[in-house]
């Protein structure tokens, strides 16, 4: 199972408009972001947040992961699907997207 993460805006039509290419990441690394961002449940709790609010959580979580990489590497899944480095890269990309479109809404599906 994985998480699909998009930023969307309400353009006044029947459906929101996706404004990012979207991100996809394995749920095997959910323990890492739960540790780094305990207010989230594997990113799913970010669904519906304004991108500016998500950026606050992401900045704090990324900083925690960068400060203690060995603690997060210890959470690398045994099956090899995902790891600390690629997880951190994905979170940085999501932060960049949120900062570029602070009024967008984060959509997370799994």
pLDDT at 11: 82
Q: What is the pLDDT of residues 6-18, one digit of tens each?
A: 999 988 888 888 8
- Residue 53's pLDDT band, with cuts at 50, 70 and 90, is very high
Provide mean pLDDT across the span 76-105.
95
Rounded average pLDDT over 38-63: 89
pLDDT of residue 35: 92
Q: Please calculate the CA angle 19-57-89 and round it to the nearest 5 degrees.
A: 65
Does position 42 have pLDDT exceeding 70, yes or no? Answer: no
- Please state the domain count of the chain: 1
Contact predicate 22/6, CB 8 Å: yes
For the segment 82-107, the average pLDDT, to the nearest whole number, is 95
The mean of the pLDDT values for the chain is 92
Which residue segment(s) compose the domain that 73 sits in?
Answer: 2-109
C-beta separation of 53 from 41 below 8 A: no
Q: Position of tokens 């990309």?
A: 93
Token pair in block for residue 68: 């203690």
State the pTM of this model.
0.92
Under 8 Å between Cβ of 7 and 20: yes
Q: What are phi and psi of 43, to 5 degrees?
A: 75, -20
CA distance 93 to 24: 11
């Amino acid at each position: 199972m994985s998480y699909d993460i998009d930023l969307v805006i309400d353009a006044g039509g029947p459906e929101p408009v996706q404004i990012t290419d979207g991100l996809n990441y394995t749920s095997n690394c959910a323990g890492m972001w739960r540790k780094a961002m305990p207010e989230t449940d594997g990113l799913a709790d970010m669904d519906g947040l304004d991108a500016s609010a998500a950026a606050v959580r992401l900045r704090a979580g990324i900083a925690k992961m960068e400060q203690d990489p060995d603690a997060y590497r210890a959470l690398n899944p045994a099956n090899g699907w995902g790891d600390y480095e690629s997880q951190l890269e994905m979170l940085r990309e999501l932060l960049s997207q949120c900062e570029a479109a602070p009024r967008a809404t984060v959509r997370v599906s799994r």
